[in-house]
Amino acid sequence: MTVDKTKTITLTDLCGELKIKPREARMMLRLAVSKKLEYPALADAHVPRQPWQWHAGSKALAEAKKALTATID
Q: What is the pLDDT of residues 51-71, one digit of tens each?
A: 999 999 999 999 999 999 986
User: At residue 2, does pLDDT exceed 90?
Assistant: no
Enter the pTM of the model. Answer: 0.85
Q: What is the pLDDT of residues 21-39, one digit of tens each?
A: 999 999 999 999 999 999 9
pLDDT of residue 1: 47
- Phi, psi at 54, each rounded to 5°: -140, 160
CA distance 47 to 54: 11
CA distance 71 to 59: 20
